Homo-oligomer: A and B are copies of this chain.
Amino acid sequence: MRIELINTGTEIILGYKPNTHLEFLANQLFFLDGKIALQQTVGDGDELKEVIKTSFYRSTVTIVTGGLGPTSDDLTREAAAAALNLPLVFYPEVSKKVKSQYEAQGIQAPEWAVQKQSFFPENSLILENPYGTACGAIIEKEGHYLILLPGPPRELEPMWKKSVIPWWKTHFHSEKTNRLVCRIIGVPESVIQEKIESKLKLAGIEEIGYCESPGEVSLRLLFKDPAATEKIAQLLIEAFGDDLYTLEDQTLEEVVIKNAAAKNLKVATAESCTGGLISNRLTDVPGSSAVFTHGWVTYSNEAKISQLKVNSHLFSSVGAVSREVAEAMALGALEASGADLSLAVTGIAGPQGGTPEKPVGLVWLAIGRKGKPIRSYERFFPSDRLTFKRLVSQFGIDLLRRSILDKNLPKC
Chain A residues packing against B (C-beta within 8 Å): 11-20, 22-27, 29-30, 35-43, 47, 51, 209-212, 269, 271, 274-280, 282-284, 286-289, 292-300, 302-303, 306-307, 336-338, 349-353, 385-386, 389
Q: Complex: how many Å from CA A26 to CA B17?
A: 10
Across-interface contacts of A30 in B (CB, < 8 A)? 14-15
Across-interface contacts of A284 in B (CB, < 8 A)? 275, 385-386, 389
Task: Give me 19 other A-B pairs in contact (C-beta within 8 A), A13-B22, A302-B338 excluded.
Answer: A14-B209, A18-B22, A18-B23, A37-B42, A38-B47, A39-B40, A271-B276, A274-B283, A276-B276, A276-B278, A280-B389, A286-B350, A286-B351, A292-B297, A294-B303, A297-B297, A303-B337, A306-B336, A307-B307
A13 close to B40 (CB less than 8 A): no
Given A283-B276, A297-B279, A385-B286 in contact, is the A36-B17 Cβ separation under 8 Å?
Answer: no
Nearest B residue to A284, CB-CB? B386
State how many angstroms separate the Cβ of A45 from the closest Cβ of chain B: 9
B42 close to A47 (CB less than 8 A): no
Q: Complex: how many Å from CA A303 to CA B294?
A: 6
Q: Complex: how many Å from CA A284 to CA B349?
A: 9
Nearest B residue to A27, CB-CB? B15
Given A298-B294, A299-B295 in contact, is the A15-B22 Cβ separation under 8 Å?
Answer: yes
Across-interface contacts of A20 in B (CB, < 8 A)? 18
Q: Complex: how many Å from CA A298 to CA B26?
A: 40
> For chain A, what secondary structure do more than half of its interface residues adopt (helix, strand, loop), or is it mixed?
mixed
Across-interface contacts of A302 in B (CB, < 8 A)? 293-294, 338
A277 close to B276 (CB less than 8 A): yes
Which interface residue of A27, A283, A293 has the most chain B CB atoms within 10 A?
A283
Across-interface contacts of A47 in B (CB, < 8 A)? 37-38
Nearest B residue to A277, CB-CB? B280
State how many angstroms separate the Cβ of A171 from the closest Cβ of chain B: 21
Q: Complex: how many Å from CA A32 to CA B405?
A: 54
State how many angstroms separate the Cβ of A337 from the closest Cβ of chain B: 7
Across-interface contacts of A349 in B (CB, < 8 A)? 283
A294 close to B276 (CB less than 8 A): no
Which of B211, B287, B338 is A16 in contact with, Cβ under 8 Å?
B211
B286 close to A352 (CB less than 8 A): yes
Q: Complex: how many Å from CA A301 to CA B167?
A: 48
Q: Complex: how many Å from CA A214 to CA B140?
A: 38
Given A298-B294, A389-B284 in contact, is the A39-B13 Cβ separation under 8 Å?
Answer: yes
Across-interface contacts of A277 in B (CB, < 8 A)? 276, 280
Across-interface contacts of A40 in B (CB, < 8 A)? 38-41
Which of B27, B42, B287, B299 is A294 in contact with, Cβ under 8 Å?
B299
Nearest B residue to A267, CB-CB? B299
Across-interface contacts of A289 in B (CB, < 8 A)? 299-300, 353
Which of B24, B41, B297, B336 is A269 in contact with, Cβ under 8 Å?
B297
Nearest B residue to A46, CB-CB? B37
Q: Complex: how many Å from CA A209 to CA B15?
A: 9
Which of B16, B22, B275, B307 is A19 in contact with, Cβ under 8 Å?
B22
A25 close to B15 (CB less than 8 A): yes
Q: Complex: how many Å from CA A24 to CA B18?
A: 9
Across-interface contacts of A24 in B (CB, < 8 A)? 15
Which of B38, B212, B271, B280 is A42 in contact with, Cβ under 8 Å?
B38
State how many angstroms separate the Cβ of A151 from the closest Cβ of chain B: 13
Across-interface contacts of A29 in B (CB, < 8 A)? 15
Q: Complex: how many Å from CA A297 to CA B279?
A: 8
Across-interface contacts of A42 in B (CB, < 8 A)? 37-38
Q: Complex: how many Å from CA A398 to CA B245?
A: 38
